[in-house]
Amino acid sequence: MRTFTYYPGCTLRTKAKDLDRYARACAKALDISLEEPEEWQCCGGVYTTAHDEIATKLSAVRTLNSAKEKNTPLVTVCSACHNVIKQTNYDISHDAETASKVNNYMQLETPYLGETVVYHYLEMLRDVVGFDELAKKVTDPLTGKKIAAYYGCLLLRPSKALAMDDPENPHIIEDLIRAIGAEPVIYAQRNECCGGYMTMEDRSSAVKRSTAVVTSAAEMGADMIITACPLCLYNLKKNSQTELPVYYFTEVLAEALGVKEDS
């Protein structure tokens, strides 16, 4: 049994309960214990990364520090949370000025200097569990299913800080799709933006972007799209004007591991 500090984030308590629920169920099936920090706060959405200031990033630091105190790696599953937390951690470990500002605010007993290892749930599957091992635990393979992975923009970029995969030709979700017995569909829009928060201000641009993504996947013969991001899921479902089903990657994983019904 391996233990991780697990940061769900606000959306997973409201709009994206499925992402959370199946993530927990799969972890259990994979013999991984996910421990939630006691008093976690919102990561700030991606808005925090748009400003060169420190106060709004402190919530990410609190999460990082609580993982450090428990001496466990931190795992996140929402693309936006992951982006904010990983970028903040990168800034603290690569920029002495950011680190000193953060610690001046936080006044921790021991300064936080970027010690925590941050995994996205997908990275945990790849680097800790291993896709080969994962494949062995699959009970209900999704054989014959053609699944299109949708990365969106936050999961891979900025690639220097996120360091998950090649931002222009990623394969981590495709490898997962293969591990659960399905066939990945490669399409060019998989790492392009879905429109994100633009849907609030100018819905037409979110419609344009989401439609481009889903059309591209459908053209390449996909039966469904999977994603790690609640906002992407929302846009692809509500704004794409197509019928192609969109799921969280944790849901199809739960199905393959045979734990979907129990969760």
Partner 1 sequence: MRKIGVFVCHCGTNIAATVDVKAVAEALGHEPGVVVSCEYQYMCSESGQELIKDSIKKHGLTGVVICSCSPRMHENTFRKAAASAGLNPYLVEIANIREQCSWIHKDIASATEKAIILGKAAVAKIHLNTPLTAGESPVAKKALVIGGGIAGIQTALDIAEAGFEVDIVEKKPTIGGKMAQLDKTFPTLDCAACILTPKMVECAQNEKIHIYSYSEVTEVKGFVGSFNVTIKKKARFVDETKCTGCGLCTEKCPMKKVPNEFNMGFDNRSAVYIPFAQAVPKVAVIDPANCMMLKTGKCGVCSKVCTVGAIDYKQQDTYINETYGAIVVATGYDPIDLGKYDEFAYSQSPDVITSLELERLMNAAGPDGGTLLRPSDKKHPHTIVFVQCVGSRCDDSRGKPYCSKICCMYTAKHAMLIREKYPDTDVYVFYIDVRTPGKNFDEFYRRAVEQYNVHYIKGMVGKVEPKADGKLSVQASDLISREQLHIDADLVVLAAAIEPDKTARPLATMLTTQMDTNDFFTEAHPKLRPVESATAGIFLSGACQGPKDIPETVAQASAAASKAIGLLCKNSITCNPCVAHSDELMCNGCSSCEKVCPYGAITYINKEFTMPDRTVALRRVASVNPAVCQGCGACTVACPSGAMDLNGFSNSQIMAEVDAICK
Cβ closest to partner 1, residue 55 vs residue 188 = 188
**Binding-site string for partner 1 from residue 219 to residue 238, where x marks contact by CB under 8 A and - marks none:** xxx-----------------
Residue 188 beta carbon to partner 1: minimum distance, rounded to whole angstroms: 3
Applying CB under 8 A, does 14 fall inside the site for partner 1? Answer: no
Residue 219 beta carbon to partner 1: minimum distance, rounded to whole angstroms: 4
Cβ closest to partner 1, residue 166 vs residue 202 = 166
Residue 220 beta carbon to partner 1: minimum distance, rounded to whole angstroms: 5
Cβ closest to partner 1, residue 31 vs residue 219 = 219
Stretch that binds partner 1, among 36-44, 116-124, 140-148, 214-222 (CB under 8 A): 214-222
Quote the CA–CA distance of 216 and 130 in Å, as a whole number. 30
Of 232, 250, 248, the closest CA to residue 240 belongs to: 232
Cβ closest to partner 1, residue 108 vs residue 220 = 220
Size of the site for partner 1 (CB under 8 A): 11
Q: What is the CA radius of gyration of the chain?
A: 18
- Restricted to residues 148-207, the positions that interact with partner 1 (CB under 8 A) are 166, 168-169, 186, 188-189, 192
Find all residues with CB under 8 Å of 157, minimum gap 6, and list them. Answer: 167
Residue 9 Rama label (left phi>0; alpha psi -120 to 50; beta): left
Give the N- to C-terminal CA distance of the chain in Å, as an integer. Answer: 20
**Out of 63, 87, 216, 240, which residue is the one contacting partner 1 (CB under 8 A)?**
216
Of 262, 234, 258, the closest CA to residue 248 belongs to: 234
- Virtual torsion, Cα 22, 26, 28, 29, nearest 10 deg: 140
Of 35, 53, 36, the closest CA to residue 44 belongs to: 53
**Binding-site string for partner 1 from residue 20 to residue 59, where x marks contact by CB under 8 A and - marks none:** ----------------------------------------
Of 128, 68, 75, 70, the closest CA to residue 93 belongs to: 68
**Which residues make up the interface to partner 1 (CB under 8 A)?**
166, 168-169, 186, 188-189, 192, 216, 219-221
